[in-house]
Amino acid sequence: MSDDHDDSAIAAQVRDLEAVLEEKGLLDPRELDQVLEAFAAKSSPANGFRVVARAWTDDGFRTRLLDDANEALPELGLSMGGGLQPQVLHVVENTADVHNVVVCTLCSCYPLSLLGPSPTWYKSPAYRSKVVSHPREVLEQFGLTLPESTRIEVWDANAESRYMVLPRRPDGTQELTEAELAGLVTRNGLIGTAAV
């Protein structure tokens, strides 16, 4: 695949495969629609917000999340399931010295169940190519200016692996509840194009 990846060609292939499976009686389109609707109903950035808020308030959960996110997510009733192929979620933590940003250079692989539908810009060839070569410049276009001393790490998602950023907890939030903290998190913060 390349940067000129054509999602419409893949969509056409999926429709053709669905038609063949329907003809052979292996797929009931109503059941498929129900499964897709149920998955979409549960896919929301609010899931990622909850994950971050728990990591900010529970050091044990934070450690488990960073070590093996797929094992930690069920603690919140979440998972990376829902597809034909299991996806491994890697959570990368922003610190005072390192800022992480996520991209999928081949297409638009994205942890849909935790972040909801991906933003249009995430799929754009301009973002996908430029964030890899000039991440600081791209972050500045999003309004995020980091100190020159901050190292920026770019994580490239793929069909098997997805990434989510664990943003730094804002100063002065020690008295906030987990629900209040979740309200501070943004989808762009989970991708790394914004601070929280």
* Residue among 44, 79, 108, 124 flagged as catalytic: 108
Task: Quote the CA–CA distance of 165 and 157 in Å, as a whole number.
Answer: 12
Based on the residue annotation, tell me whether 109 is a catalytic residue of this protein: yes
Based on the residue annotation, tell me whether 129 is a catalytic residue of this protein: no
Residue 88 contacts residue 80 (beta carbons within 8 Å): yes
123: left (phi over 0), alpha (psi -120 to 50) or beta: alpha
Residues in the chain: 196
* Residue among 107, 118, 129, 149 flagged as catalytic: 107
Tokens describing residue 122: 């995430």
Task: Quote the CA–CA distance of 158 and 163 in Å, as a whole number.
Answer: 9
* Residue among 44, 79, 109, 124 flagged as catalytic: 109
Q: What is the SS3 assignment for 64?
A: helix
* Residue among 2, 44, 104, 118 flagged as catalytic: 104
Residue 190 contacts residue 52 (beta carbons within 8 Å): yes
Active site residues: 104, 107-109
